Amino acid sequence: MMRDKLSKREDRVLHRALASVVLTRFPNPQRRDCPGSSVLRAIATKSIPMRDPAHKHVGSCSPCFSELTEIRHALHRRNLIWAMGTAGAAVLVLAVFVGYFVFLRVDNPVGQAVVRPGAPTETHQSADSIPKPQPSQTEYEMALLDLRNASPTRTVQPSGSTSNVKPIEIPRGRLALTVQLPVGSEAGFYEVEIRKPNQPATRAAKAQATIENGITKLPINVDTSSIQPGEYEFAWRPAGFNWRYYPVSIR
C-alpha cells in the first residue's frame, strides 16, 4: 500500500537525486499547468498526500522545482531563527529569575538582633531594607493596522509603487500595534519596518504572527512619537522572503 508521506531520510535522498536533473532538463517558461505557490508550499510542508498530481508535475517542471527548493530553504531558515530566538528568550528569563533572587538577598538583609542588659531582645531593620515602590512604566496605547485587503499574491511591487493607494493612518506615540496581515498570510516569524520609500528603516521590529478566528495577527510594540508626521511605507515579510509594502500616514 502506498504511503502518503516519505520519511525525512527518503525525502532528502529523493530531493538530491532529482535536483541535478529537474533544475535544467524540464524548462517551462510559460509555466503551463503549474499548480501555484500555495500548492508548492503545501508540498514543502508535507500537508498534501504523495498521490496528489502536483508532485508529478514538480518532478517534470524546472521552474516549479526551483521555486519549491527556494520555499524549503526559506522555511528551514525561518525555523532555525525561531528556534534560536526561543532558546535566547529562555536564557533571558532564567537570568532575570536568578537576578531577582540575588537582589532580594543583597538589598534586603535580615534584621540584626541587639541585646541590652535588662532589656528585651529587639530586631532592627535598616532603612535600605524597607521595600521601595517601583516607578510605573509608560503605558502603550492600543492601535490597529488593518492590512487584510492588501494583495495576498506572492509577487511584490517595488518600494514607492503604491502611491495610488490611500494610506492608512497610524497615530504618534508608544503603540501596542496589532497588524492584521493580508488574507491568506501564514503564522510565523515576521520582520517589519516603517520607512520612507527607498530609504533606510525609521523603525524596525521582529515578532511572531498567530492566526485567530481566521485572521493572521502580528503584535508589535513601536514608538512613533519621535517620527516626523508625514507619508511612510509599512513593510513586512516572513523571514527569508521578499518585502511587501503598504502606504501609511503618521499624524
The reported pLDDT for the residue numbered 102 is 58
Q: Specify the amino acid at residue 10.
A: E
pLDDT digits (tens, 9 = 90+) for 16-29: 666 666 666 777 88
pLDDT digits (tens, 9 = 90+) for 154-185: 444 555 555 578 899 999 999 999 999 999 88
pLDDT digits (tens, 9 = 90+) for 48-73: 888 888 888 878 888 888 888 888 88
How far lies 140's CA from each of 174, 175, 178, 197, 228, in Å?
A: 5, 5, 12, 27, 19
How deeply is 172 buried, as exposed, middle or buried, from its count of CB atoms within 10 A (0-12, 13-18, 19+)? middle
Provide the H-helix boundaries in the chain. 8-25, 37-44, 53-58, 62-107
Q: What is the Cα–Cα distance from 114 to 2, expressed in whole angstroms?
A: 84
**Helix, strand, coil % over all residues of the chain, rounded to 5:** 30, 25, 40
Sequence spans of domains, the chain: 7-109, 141-153+161-250
Dihedral angle at the C-alpha atoms of 19, 20, 21, 23, nearest 10 degrees? Answer: 60
pLDDT digits (tens, 9 = 90+) for 186-198: 999 999 999 998 8
Nearest to 193 by CA among 207, 209, 182, 183: 207
pLDDT digits (tens, 9 = 90+) for 106-160: 555 544 444 455 545 444 555 555 555 554 446 889 999 999 988 644 444 555 5
The C-alpha cell at 78 is 525561518
Q: Identify the CATH class of 141-153+161-250.
A: mainly beta
The C-alpha cell at 76 is 528551514
In contact, 242 and 218? CB cutoff 8 Å: no
Strands 174-180 and 122-124: unpaired
- Percent of the chain clearing pLDDT 90 (strictly above): 28
- Percent of the chain clearing pLDDT 70 (strictly above): 65
